[in-house]
Structure 1
Amino acid sequence: MKVGEACNRDVVVAEPHTEILDAAKLMRAHHVGDLVIVEMRVGLPRPIGMLTDRDLVVEVMAQDVPPSEITVADVMTSDIVTVPEDLEIWETGERMRQHGVRRMPVVAADGSLVGLITLDDLLELFTESLDTMTRLVRNEMRKETQRRKP
């Protein structure tokens, strides 16, 4: 399965000039812990950063910085790792491991934002796959036992 098929396409985004307080309100309103920071280029949103609820705590609240004085650009992680939408799911997990990240924007060939994939998403997909394989093995064992009754 390709990551573009599995990713969450309902991504909450913000722009770098967004005030940090507005970004926090956006997270709260949408019940998310992260925002993909985008820059519009040729009418398409291109990911340029990530902002997490942890960033808000560590970089704003814990530093006693007045939220009205800073923007998303001041706090966001700008060296993000993206993943092309045609990459296989297992390769996506490997890329997360290599880069030590828990979430990655999924991009089209032109670099525009397609969606977001998280470690939790991958774990759910892998768990479902393992469950399916386990059921197949059990079913085959049951059939074998029935065929070979003494």
Structure 2
Amino acid sequence: MNLSQLCQRDILTVSAEASVRKAAEMMRTHHVGALALTDPEDPTRVVGVVTDRDLVIHLLAQDRTPQEQNIGAFSTVHLIRVPGTATVHEAVKAMNQYGVRRVFITAPNGRLMGLLSIDDLLATLSDELSGLSQALRMGIDLESSRTSPMFSPAEAGSMYLAQHEP
């Protein structure tokens, strides 16, 4: 499974010149933790990303008020991109390398396809682990449901242990 199948295709965007309050309201209304910021002169071009964590760390923790600046002042402009053909392992590697919780997923032509978060990866991996767990359980259930033992002492006659090991 490649990342183009896992990423969120609907990316919530806001102009980099929007107010901090507007961005925070959008996050709350749409229940998202990140917004892609677009160029005010070209709304199709993503120029940054801002997360709920950015707002807490760079705005509230520094005792700044939301009216002071636009949302672009609190964004990350170094966008981490991973090709849509990449694997989960490659996405995790990029997140680790750059210390981020979200990466942008790109098409072969470089255009933005979607956004992939740690939450998306955890949901996918938990489904995979659940499937493995079910396979293991089914194997155990099959073994315990056998009606005839693999070895019948009655057929083999008397047997004695040559050496007893604890």
TM-score (norm 1): 0.84
Higher relative contact order (CA 8 A, sep 6+): 1
Partner of 1:118: 117
Q: Give the C-alpha shift of residue 147 in structure 1.
A: 5.0
**Structure 1: where are the runs of 5+ without partners?**
none
Counterpart contact for 2:17–2:40, Cα < 8 Å: no
Cα distance in 2, alignment partners of residues 122 and 91 from structure 1: 12
Partner of 1:31: 31
Residue 3 (str. 1) matches residue 24 (str. 2): no
1:53-92 alignment runs, 5 A limit: 53-92=52-91
1:107-146 alignment runs, 5 A limit: 107-146=106-145
Cα distance in 2, alignment partners of residues 75 and 110 from structure 1: 29
Q: Give the C-alpha shift of residue 105 in structure 1.
A: 1.6
**Structure 2: where are the runs of 5+ without partners?**
150-166
Cα distance in 2, alignment partners of residues 99 and 62 from structure 1: 23
The CA deviation string for residues 30-64 of structure 1, in whole angstroms up to 9 with x for no partner, is 121211223489x7834332111121122222333
Between the aligned residues of both structures, percent identity stands at: 34
Letter of the 2:98 partner, please give it. H
Cα distance in 1, alignment partners of residues 62 and 140 from structure 2: 59
Counterpart contact for 2:15–2:43, Cα < 8 Å: no
SS at 1:17's partner residue? coil
Note closer, same or farther for the CA distance 1:85–1:47 as it changes in structure 2 (3 Å cut). Answer: farther
TM-score (norm 2): 0.77
The CA deviation string for residues 53-82 of structure 1, in whole angstroms up to 9 with x for no partner, is 121122222333332231122110111212
Which has more radius of gyration? 2
Residue 20 (str. 1) matches residue 20 (str. 2): yes
Cα distance in 1, alignment partners of residues 110 and 39 from structure 2: 11
Cα distance in 2, alignment partners of residues 39 and 88 from structure 1: 30
